[in-house]
Structure 1
Amino acid sequence: MAEDMSIESYLAAGGVLTNPTNVPPRYRAELMKLMATFVDSELAGAAGFADIINQGPGIKERIAAAKIVLEKTDNADKVLSIMGEFGADTGRYANHHPWTARLERDADIGQTRSEHDMRLAVFNYPLDGWTDAVVMNLLMGRAVAVQMAEFSMVSYQPLAEAFRAIAPIEARHAELAEEGVAKLLDSSDKAAVQASVAYWWPRVAASFGSETSSKAEALKAIGLRKSGNAELKNRWEAETKAILENLGLTAG
């Protein structure tokens, strides 16, 4: 970084930071929020999915579900270790929040976060059996794929590298979910699958945040975002609708 260039100008020009010592306060706050949201969402998601493992219709499905729970927890740990470099108490973190806590099924909280942690709002809703869990994993898995492509370019280099390692793992989870939905459609009531799509679609869509938020511009200026909420959401909608249509299902 040039001596006469501020950190803000350096980041705006596409520069990257590599350790906590040269991170300005506002950047640190936004970076920690991004990491906490990811970690808390992964831990809450894994906790909810863990309760469904034994509802899998066969041993292979249960193995796949258990592997997803393991890998999501490991993905959380990868990012939590970076949070630890900024002072987060990683030793207490896993037991500090009620990851299995859920609202009633008919709750509608929009984009509101939990009062307990930083999980995305979608992870406050309960899964209703195996079919519902597989459908949710498909829709949210596609959302995570879009978000990973975005987060893999953040200006804090250690985090970008962590997200680039996590991205193919999360992509495989979405692929497994797509295979699972296809299998369900061969053996289950299509109406039940479609009902789960209708339930989860708006809740997953809300995870992208407000389409009119001005905060994305501020995050772009420091290299923590490349795209706005609306752009990311539109990308998810287009890609996921195509997958659903190929399966004979309707989005929304």
Structure 2
Amino acid sequence: MTEDMSIESYLAQGGVLSNPHNVPSRYRAELLKLMSSFVDSELAGAAGFADIINLGPGIKSRIAAARIVLEKTDHADKVLKIMAEFGVDAERYAAHHPWTARLDREAAIGTQRHEQDMRLAVFNYPLTTWADAVVMNLLMGRAVGVQLADFQTLSYQPLAEAFRAISLVETRHAELAEEGLVALIADTDAAELQASVDYWWPRVSASFGTADAGRIDALKAMGLRRSSPDEMRTRWEAEAKVVLTQIGLHAG
């Protein structure tokens, strides 16, 4: 960055930052919001999936589920370490909210979040059966893949690098869910699986948020967003529909 160029102009031209002490105040606020949403979603997702491990139909499925819980918690830890560089108490963070808390299955909250809990709204809903968990993990795994593809080019270099490493593991989670659903379709009532798809589809779709053009443009200028919510949602819908069709199900 040249001496006569502002940080805002530097970021707008594709520049990257790596020191928490050099970031502008609005950039810091948006970056922390992004990291909080990711960490809270990983912790809540891991907590919800942990409750379903022992419903797995066999030892291999339970090992896979336990690994997913472990790795999602590790992903939260990776990003928490970056948040700690901005003054967040990482040691206390994981205990500040009951991550296992869930709302009623039919609660209509849209994209609403609690100010002390930045998890994506989809992680407020409970899993009911092993099949339900596999369907949710497949749809949300694909959504996370789309979101992480966008986040890997963030202008805050340490976080972008963390997301690139996390993305490889999250891709495997989605693959495991697809393998699990293929196994389930062979000996499970297809109507039950389709009911779970119909339930989770709109809730996962809502996890991309809504498009506030002004804010999205500002995030793009800061290098904290590359695609709009609608663009990411469209990519997810296309990918998820292909996978479901191959398995013998259809989009909700």
Name the TM-score class by shorter chain: over 0.9
Q: Deviations over 1:78-110 (max 9, x none)?
A: 000000000001110111111001000111111
Aligned 8 A contact 1:114 1:121 in 2:
no
Q: Deviations over 1:145-187 (max 9, x none)?
A: 0001000000000000000000010000000000001111011
Please give the TM-score of this superposition, normalised by the length of structure 1. 0.99
- 1:149–1:107 CA distance, 2 compared to 1 (3 A): same
What SS does the corresponding residue of 1:169 show, helix, strand or coil?
A: helix
Q: Distance in 1 between matches of 2:211 and 2:246?
A: 27
Deviation at 1:116, TM superposition (A): 3.7
What SS does the corresponding residue of 1:214 show, helix, strand or coil?
A: helix
Deviation at 1:195, TM superposition (A): 0.3
What SS does the corresponding residue of 1:8 show, helix, strand or coil?
A: helix
- Is 1:78 equivalent to 2:78 in the alignment? yes
Q: Partner of 1:32 in structure 2? A: 32
Runs of 4 or more consecutive aligned structure 1 residues displaced over 2 Å after TM superposition: 211-214
Equivalent residue letter for 1:176: L
Q: Partner of 1:147 in structure 2? A: 147
- Is 1:126 equivalent to 2:140 in the alignment? no
What SS does the corresponding residue of 1:146 show, helix, strand or coil?
A: helix
What SS does the corresponding residue of 2:95 show, helix, strand or coil?
A: coil
Identity of aligned residues (%): 71
- Is 1:215 equivalent to 2:215 in the alignment? yes
Q: Deviations over 1:123-158 (max 9, x none)?
A: 000001101000000000000000010000000000
Aligned 8 A contact 1:213 1:229 in 2:
no
Q: Distance in 2 between matches of 1:49 and 1:165?
A: 22
Aligned 8 A contact 1:152 1:160 in 2:
yes
Q: Partner of 1:11 in structure 2? A: 11
Q: Partner of 1:169 in structure 2? A: 169
Please give the TM-score of this superposition, normalised by the length of structure 2. 0.99
Q: Partner of 1:112 in structure 2? A: 112
Equivalent residue letter for 2:86: F
Q: Distance in 2 between matches of 1:195 and 1:173?
A: 22
Equivalent residue letter for 1:78: K
Aligned 8 A contact 1:47 1:100 in 2:
yes
Q: Partner of 1:230 in structure 2? A: 230
Aligned 8 A contact 1:98 1:116 in 2:
no
Q: Distance in 2 between matches of 1:187 and 1:65?
A: 20
What SS does the corresponding residue of 1:231 show, helix, strand or coil?
A: helix
Deviation at 1:118, TM superposition (A): 0.4
Gaps of 5+ in 2: none
Q: Distance in 2 between matches of 1:215 and 1:187?
A: 47
